[in-house]
Amino acid sequence: MRSDHAIQTALKQAGLSTEITHHRVLSGGATQQVIKLTLSDGSSLVAKLACGTEAERISAEADGLQALREHGHLLVPEHNLTEDGTHACLLMDHMRPASGTTDQVWTRFAAELADHHQAPTGERYGWGRDNFIGATPQPNGWRDDWVEFNAEHRLGHQLRLAKEQSAGSKITDPVERVIERLANYIPRRPHPALLHGDLWSGNVLPTVHRTESRIAVIDPAVSIGDAWADIAMLKLFGSPPSIFFETYEQRCQDREQVPQRILVYQLYHMLNHLNLFGGGYEGSVSGIALRLLSM
């Protein structure tokens, strides 16, 4: 779907060289592509290009990146979004991969993430717009109560999608019971933290930033909620080393019912994987729900 005009327009609006000496498609299909660009000045960028309904996902991603950058604690690629009514083009600095990652780098990232989560964000849970978790729409309507927010916009939302896809009682019954008892597992008023929202290992990049190794984050699905939701996702798919979690926990004052909270937030992501990728995730969904019900 590559549109040279949309990319050239985005480069021009960002005040960058519009002479592309090399490009390589990294991923994508008919409605979205990720392209690595090399410009005539030797710099490299990543361009996310989308059209149609996929353009809204790109816009929401740019909004999340900007929010994370404004908090100032995490390394987030500089970016620029251009929309022309047909295409959306998100330009980002290419994050140069680090050849190796030390405990010191992970310790620093844990401290940065803890500081990020402790920064003030207001008193409510949600976000100023809906966005996406993967390809799934993620509603973010504001709530004063974190239990109600999750019952409606997280577990409840994913369960409704699963029912639309004819999910069986193997998952619907235990998940419904978890939602009914949600106040037993998560707090109603945790410290409101700006969440990355999709903080799995693929979105946590060991990189060389200037002259030092650091962890950068990409592809957010932001909202304001319980900080342990980000940690729950980090424990799901390819975890950082134990030093990361040890450091984060040392800097975190809120440790009440952490195992239960982690499972609730992991249940959300497993439901999302069920809705995106099918019945192979039924066992994971029901297994987490049953573990919660036994606590």
163 and 247 together in one domain: yes
Place 26 in a pLDDT band, splitting at 50, 70 and 90: confident
46 and 107 together in one domain: no
Minimum mean pLDDT range among 50-54, 161-165, 171-175, 183-187: 50-54
In a domain, 257, yes or no: yes
120 and 264 together in one domain: yes
Place 23 in a pLDDT band, splitting at 50, 70 and 90: confident
Quick one: how many helices (H) and strands (E) in the chain?
Answer: 10, 11
- The pLDDT value recorded for residue 233 is 97
Top mean pLDDT of 4-8, 77-81, 86-90, 176-180 is at 176-180
Q: How far is CA 71 from CA 20, 74, 117, 212, in A?
A: 32, 8, 9, 21
67 and 136 together in one domain: no
Residue bearing the bigger pLDDT, 7 or 85: 7
Which of the listed residues 93, 114, 138 is the one where a domain comes to its end? 93
Which of the listed residues 41, 68, 93 is the one where a domain comes to its end? 93
- Number of structural domains (the chain) is 2
Instruction: Take residue 135 and report the two structure tokens written for it.
Output: 């390809």
pLDDT tens for each residue of 98-138:
887 899 999 999 999 999 999 999 999 999 999 999 999 99
84 and 115 together in one domain: no
- Candidates 282, 294, 54, 51; CA nearest to 166 is 282
183 and 145 together in one domain: yes
As a whole number of angstroms, the distance between CA 154 and CA 148 comes to 10
- At a CB cut-off of 8 Å and minimum separation 6, what does 283 contact? none
48 and 128 together in one domain: no
Helices marked H in 72-154? 103-118, 146-149
Calculate the average pLDDT of the chain: 92
157 and 44 together in one domain: no
As a whole number of angstroms, the distance between CA 200 and CA 95 comes to 17
- The pLDDT value recorded for residue 173 is 96
As a whole number of angstroms, the distance between CA 81 and CA 230 comes to 25
55 and 178 together in one domain: no
In a domain, 24, yes or no: yes
pTM over 0.85? The answer is yes
Instruction: Over range 187-193, report the average pLDDT.
Output: 98
Instruction: Over range 243-262, report the average pLDDT.
Output: 95
Instruction: Over range 14-29, report the average pLDDT.
Output: 81
Q: How far is CA 11 from CA 33, 222, 244, in A?
A: 16, 26, 37
- The pLDDT value recorded for residue 6 is 81
Q: Check whether 29 has a pLDDT greater than 70.
A: no
As a whole number of angstroms, the distance between CA 103 and CA 241 comes to 8
Q: Check whether 1 has a pLDDT greater than 60.
A: no
Instruction: Over range 21-36, report the average pLDDT.
Output: 82
Instruction: Over range 51-65, report the average pLDDT.
Output: 90
Active site residues: 198
- The pLDDT value recorded for residue 159 is 97
As a whole number of angstroms, the distance between CA 100 and CA 192 comes to 34
Residue bearing the bigger pLDDT, 290 or 2: 290
Task: Give the number of other CB atoms < 10 A from CB of residue 266.
Answer: 20
- The pLDDT value recorded for residue 114 is 97
156 and 274 together in one domain: yes
Q: What is the CATH number of the domain that holds 38?
A: 3.30.200.20
Q: Check whether 267 has a pLDDT greater than 60.
A: yes
Domain hosting 34: range is 4-93
CB-CB contact of 86 with 11 (8 Å): no
pLDDT tens for each residue of 209-243:
888 899 999 999 999 999 999 999 999 988 899 99
As a whole number of angstroms, the distance between CA 115 and CA 125 comes to 19
Instruction: Take residue 96 and report the two structure tokens written for it.
Output: 């140069």
CB-CB contact of 49 with 88 (8 Å): yes
203 and 82 together in one domain: no
- The pLDDT value recorded for residue 2 is 60
Q: Is 286 helix (H, G, I), strand (E, B) or coil?
A: helix
Which of the listed residues 54, 73, 93 is the one where a domain comes to its end? 93
In a domain, 209, yes or no: yes
Place 9 in a pLDDT band, splitting at 50, 70 and 90: confident
- The pLDDT value recorded for residue 230 is 98
In a domain, 98, yes or no: no
